[in-house]
Amino acid sequence: MSKNPVFQVDAFTDRPFSGNPAAVCLLDQEAEADWMQRVAAEMNLSETAFLVAWNDGFQLRWFTPTIEVPLCGHATLASSHVLWLEGKVPRDESIRFHTLSGLLTATLDGAMIELDFPAAPVMETDPPAGLLEALDVAPTFVGQSDYDMFVVVESERVVRELSPDFRKLAAVDCRGVMVSSISTDQAFDFVSRFFAPQSGIDEDPVTGSAHCSLGPYWGERLGKTSLTAFQASARGGVVRMRLDEDRVVLGGQAITVLRGDLLLD
């Protein structure tokens, strides 16, 4: 029986039991997708990342408990944290991830991990059937990215008090739904929440990939190229963004809360 290290990491936070937890599995060879999906279901976190050394970096894949996803920010942040913490990559070197969304890179700047991700522009659209009924909101803007629905509401209070009907929301054809507004706290530019019952997660605590859409939208609205956001889930988390044409650099911290071994026959 072989052993592969597995970690649980809280991402986009500097405190344990906040931010977004992800499992990170270090594999010594590529694994079958069905097996990774079953492991992710066993981990039962919003995302489980699987890493295997590949060419000049690492192959990285992400799974929710029910599906494989093409892009995940917090599990990439967690993976970077583990690779540097475990000495798999020197701390002064960047990490190259080969993924379904192309090449992604991570660099370490002090305690801050920075991820170079593709921007996911939002196009204004009519709300699909059932979306607003499921959220029970009157939006000021509705849009859609390649992955998600994008809803802007009038105030932070509306964002924080949202209580979606997840059964209805699961019927909306998208990966998930982000809802945001300008922040009333001067420490942050905007606040958001992210709901994804379609992907097996009613509410994701902190969604890095959603900020590939949120950052460009609010950057244009506010006339900024550097932003700081708070995802107002029960756990909460802070995401920093730097906009660079068709890329978004996501910044955050991470902390390991669990380490063990995944036992394989």
3-state helix, strand, coil in the chain (%, to 5): 20, 45, 35
Q: How far is CA 33 from CA 47, 146, 180, 222, in A?
A: 14, 23, 34, 42
- The Cα–Cα gap between 199 and 173 comes to 11
- The Cα–Cα gap between 7 and 81 comes to 10
| Cβ 145 vs Cβ 118: under 8 Å | no
Q: Which of 30, 47, 93, 133 is catalytic?
A: 47
Token duo for residue 185: 């706290």
156 is catalytic: no
> Residue for token digits 């070197």?
93
Question: Rounded to the nearest 5°, which phi and psi values hold at 244?
Answer: -140, 85
Active centre residues (catalytic): 47
